[in-house]
Structure 1
Amino acid sequence: MTEEQAKELLQKYLNKQASPQEQKKVEEWYATLNQENIELAADRKAAIGEQMFAHLQAAMRQKPKHGKVFKLQSFIRIAAAILIIITLGISIWKLNTPLKLENQITVVTGGTERKRITLSDGSVVLLGPSAKLCYPKAFASNSRHIALKEGEAFFDIAHQEKRPFTVHTSAGVDIKVLGTSFKVKSYQANKQLEVAVVTGKVGVSNQKGNLGTLVKDEFLTYDKNDGRAAIRKIKASAFIEFAFDGANLDQVITKLQYVYSIKILLNDITLGKLKTTASFSSKQSPEEILDIICSLHHLRFNASKNHKTFNIYR
């Protein structure tokens, strides 16, 4: 049943033109109101409200028949009642209609099974045992969204500044990144959700707001019962490998900045065009990697006192 068909059915019910079967359907919808907490999106409420207002204006312009005076206040009450019934009816209809997600892929692993999944943007997900992941065949042009419905997964996200990447969980907690690697553990049977960052930075939030921002080697636990989150420092045991095959130095720097949450500056913009072919691991320090890269191009670098900013020069 489409939304228009649902609205027509409700209108027939109000006009006492519905068949016994149709009346039963509407009354079943109404009965569920006492069992479900139903909310309608603001845009749908606004659209329905505009329709009702248009009907109200049309009725006000009509001339009274047989000398009867048009009672505006009564009509407003009737219009309001119709609006409420239509709003709630469509809400229930939407609730009971399965959501169709086109081009959506669902991957489920067995009790001892692990899977490696490469997403359309080049990001990689290592799915643990007894896990369920839903993701699109292709991401939208301005955002990337996937859902970890159950289990544990390690994410190595391709950096795309204009397309933030968000992992939604069944606990109502979202993890938003631009480009980094992290692990999420979210079993429905467990009262806690866990997020551990291996490289880069992620923001963790729920419907009430931000729960915290994590950087490399930080670990967040979220209690599903009381909605509280705690962040602590850990030494991450997982590492990622990243390789450059003819990438220019600007691309290499962008990747390193997000992996290590550091700042790398070039004293000459022409250096950014230098090509680099090499493989590294996140268990290596930024200094070690920069030393190798600079050696390849006969360059030098220095670091700030806190080792968060690096300058590359000839």
Structure 2
Amino acid sequence: MTEEQAKELLQKYLDQQANQEEQKKVEEWYATLHVKDTAIPAGRKAAIGAKMFAHLQVAMRNEPKTGQVLKLRSFIRTAAAVLFMVAVGITIWILNPKMPPDNQLTLVTGSQQKRIILSDGSVVLLGPSAKLCYPKVFASTSRQIELKEGEAFFDIAHQEKRPFTVHTSAGVTIKVLGTAFKVKSYQASKQLEVAVVTGKVAVSNQKGNLGTLVKDESLTYDKNAGSAAIRKIKAPAFIEFTFDGARLDEVITKLQYVYSIKILLKDSVLGKLKTTGSFSSRQSPEEILDIICSLHHLRFNASKNHKTFNIYR
């Protein structure tokens, strides 16, 4: 018997439309449960509903059993309600598989800044009077947090298969793979601001994409008009990044997102070379590549627009 058939049978019984054989099946199923207390704790409804449904399937397959039915109609109503809640819960979970509520944390800053390291290694620097909601552990397919109030600087760990999304109270979302950017979102303000320090981010609202920002660009969103304007950052910020024995292909991935460039290895074996060093986005990609290549006795060349680099022996 399918879940849908079980619900239909329960509903027919409650509506007094079940025939004699159907009534007998439901009553025999109930008798096999030996339920003494029909109260269902709120936190266990899904588990109890699943167990109840399993008992129902067994009873429908087995030979009829006799037993005294106590408060049957009340219990059947509870059973139907629980099965309905379980079905709805499963549907919601399939459409939106979020972490359980106890996985969510909320941090509110006072008059000082606070630094948070998220479960994926990403770093968030919250400004004063800010409020951030984030999970203890990110989901396996996505990383989502919500900046409810204030200003925050994000340095996101690159994970190509697990995008990072920042939701805001203004209905604007910022999606990245791995980069550094700043968001200023105060509920009392008519504007929201996003500024990219390194990498690339996509900014959108419910109506669609507002713009894609790259290094040293900022977006100002007008909440009332629902419009956005992109401009160059006059005084760009900088970040520091350190590699401690990281593989060269990992270093390349980081540099590509920091500078929005492409770096190619002529030989894939070179990607296994270990690299240790500290750098700043104040440095040009050529300067950093020159240091890294000299460590491994490698060479590199750049395209005319300095957006593509090739590393070789």
With the length of structure 1 as denominator, give the TM-score of the two structures: 0.68
Matched residue, 1:145: 144
Work out whether residues 182 and 195 of structure 2, in 8 Å CA contact, stay in contact via their aligned partners in 1. Answer: yes
Work out whether residues 141 and 163 of structure 1, in 8 Å CA contact, stay in contact via their aligned partners in 2. Answer: yes
Residue 138 of structure 2: SS of its match in structure 1? coil
Distance 1:268 1:145 in 2: 36
Residue 254 of structure 1: SS of its match in structure 2? helix
Distance 2:101 2:202 in 1: 26
For residues 143-163 of structure 1, the C-alpha deviation after alignment (integer angstroms, 9 at most, x for no partner) is: 000000000000000000000
Is residue 104 of structure 2 the alignment partner of residue 109 of structure 1?
no
Work out whether residues 216 and 236 of structure 2, in 8 Å CA contact, stay in contact via their aligned partners in 1. Answer: no
Matched residue, 2:123: 124
Distance 1:121 1:181 in 2: 15
What are the within-5 Å matches in structure 2 for residues 223-242 of structure 1?
A: 223-242=222-241
Matched residue, 1:304: 303
Matched residue, 1:264: 263
Matched residue, 1:275: 274
Matched residue, 1:173: 172
Residue type at the aligned position of 1:107: L
Residue type at the aligned position of 2:210: L
1:283 positional shift: 1.1
Distance 1:219 1:242 in 2: 22
With the length of structure 2 as denominator, give the TM-score of the two structures: 0.68
Residue type at the aligned position of 1:199: T
- Percent of paired sites with the same residue: 86
Distance 1:174 1:123 in 2: 18
Residue 121 of structure 2: SS of its match in structure 1? coil
Residue type at the aligned position of 2:109: T
What are the within-5 Å matches in structure 2 for residues 279-290 of structure 1?
A: 279-290=278-289
Which runs of 5 or more residues in structure 2 are unaligned? 1-10, 16-87, 89-99
For residues 230-282 of structure 1, the C-alpha deviation after alignment (integer angstroms, 9 at most, x for no partner) is: 00112453211111111111100011001110000111111111110111111
Matched residue, 2:294: 295
Work out whether residues 196 and 236 of structure 1, in 8 Å CA contact, stay in contact via their aligned partners in 2. Answer: no
Distance 1:162 1:205 in 2: 20
Matched residue, 2:163: 164
For residues 115-150 of structure 1, the C-alpha deviation after alignment (integer angstroms, 9 at most, x for no partner) is: 000000000000001100000000000000000000
Matched residue, 2:76: none
Residue 102 of structure 1: SS of its match in structure 2? helix
What are the within-5 Å matches in structure 2 for residues 57-76 of structure 1?
A: none
Distance 1:119 1:235 in 2: 30
Is residue 115 of structure 2 the alignment partner of residue 134 of structure 1?
no
Tell me the C-alpha RMSD between the 2 structures: 1.8
Work out whether residues 301 and 313 of structure 1, in 8 Å CA contact, stay in contact via their aligned partners in 2. Answer: yes
Distance 2:276 2:234 in 1: 29
Distance 1:313 1:236 in 2: 35
Matched residue, 2:221: 222
1:102 positional shift: 2.1
Matched residue, 1:199: 198
Work out whether residues 197 and 236 of structure 1, in 8 Å CA contact, stay in contact via their aligned partners in 2. Answer: no
For residues 170-225 of structure 1, the C-alpha deviation after alignment (integer angstroms, 9 at most, x for no partner) is: 00000000000000000000000000000000000000000000000011000000
Distance 1:127 1:239 in 2: 17
Residue type at the aligned position of 1:102: D
Stretch moving more, 151-160 or 265-274: 265-274
Distance 1:233 1:246 in 2: 35
Which runs of 5 or more residues in structure 1 are unaligned? 1-10, 16-89, 91-99
Distance 1:236 1:131 in 2: 23
Alpha carbons of structure 1 residues 236 and 251: separation in structure 2 relative to 1, 3 Å? farther
Alpha carbons of structure 1 residues 235 and 262: separation in structure 2 relative to 1, 3 Å? farther
Alpha carbons of structure 1 residues 239 and 300: separation in structure 2 relative to 1, 3 Å? same
Residue 253 of structure 2: SS of its match in structure 1? helix
Distance 1:144 1:102 in 2: 16
Matched residue, 1:8: none
1:313 positional shift: 0.9
Distance 2:150 2:227 in 1: 20
Work out whether residues 171 and 205 of structure 2, in 8 Å CA contact, stay in contact via their aligned partners in 1. Answer: yes
What are the within-5 Å matches in structure 2 for residues 33-48 of structure 1?
A: none
Q: How many residues align?
A: 219
Matched residue, 2:153: 154
